[in-house]
Amino acid sequence: MQRIARTSLVLALGKYTGLGIQNAYLRPAASVASAQFGGPPSGSPSGGNPYTDGGSDDGSTSGRPGFGSGEFGVPKNINTMITAHAVLATLAFGLFFPFGSIIIRLGSFRGLWLVHGIIQSITYVLFVAAAAIGVYMARHIPRGNVLLNAHPIIGLLLLLLLFFQPFLGLIHHFAFKKHSRRVVWSYAHIWLGRFVITLGIINGGLGLQLSKRLGMFAPTQGAVIGYAVGAGIMWLLYVASAIYGEKKRSKANYAAVNQGPPPYKLERGSESGEVRYA
């Protein structure tokens, strides 16, 4: 009886508001998702967006207001936007950010720090684009406040933290040149980078989980496994390079401390033959 009463209430509300709520309520989740993202659902009179009031597919409505494709309407190209967001964010945290950090530990050539900085800066721009797309989608999805989920919250936090990385990196570089050692800003730059790369990779998994929960262009099981394996391998390479870099640095510092200063040439006429140090 409760089910019948609830269904009757939804049908009545749907007829009054013209939002097609009865179709969204009664159809299975897959059919609702198909209707939201452009596919004609079974049982839909017009085959259009169930969140419009029966107007045209371009989001225009006639009479009573509906979701349409305005501030709170699902964009027609939502699948493309989701793909772009996922690809850009994955390239940022699953490839380029770790790669830029790996070369600074394993590389040894003039201007290495500059190459590192350029790679990370370009990657940050990629992530800014991914975040912008993500925020736009979250504001146009009528599924409650999507921005309150863990994935977008962590994404915005990463966006904020990464903003400071170039400045910390420059301070670290010039301070190291001056003092020939790491200073507090050096550790802030290094450990913040390690933190955001790790958190960014984890957040990618949370994004796939959120997409599945919302029923929006949900990733296949193969895509989830592929991301987990690829990102996991990249993270392990990143951690291995960090450990190797720290060990190499420790050995270099130990050698510098324990070796004596460079010897002078033997003085001409010296009978003892001993080498004098500065």
pLDDT tens by residue, 218-239: 899 999 999 999 999 999 999 9
Least confident span in 146-155, 172-181, 190-199, 203-212? 172-181
Dist. CA 141–CA 67, nearest whole Å: 10
Using pLDDT thresholds of 50, 70 and 90, give the confidence band for residue 241.
very high
For the domain covering 78-248, report its CATH number: 1.20.120
Confidence band, pLDDT 50/70/90 cuts, at residue 132: very high
pLDDT level of residue 75 (50, 70, 90 thresholds): confident
Domain ranges of the chain: 1-74, 78-248
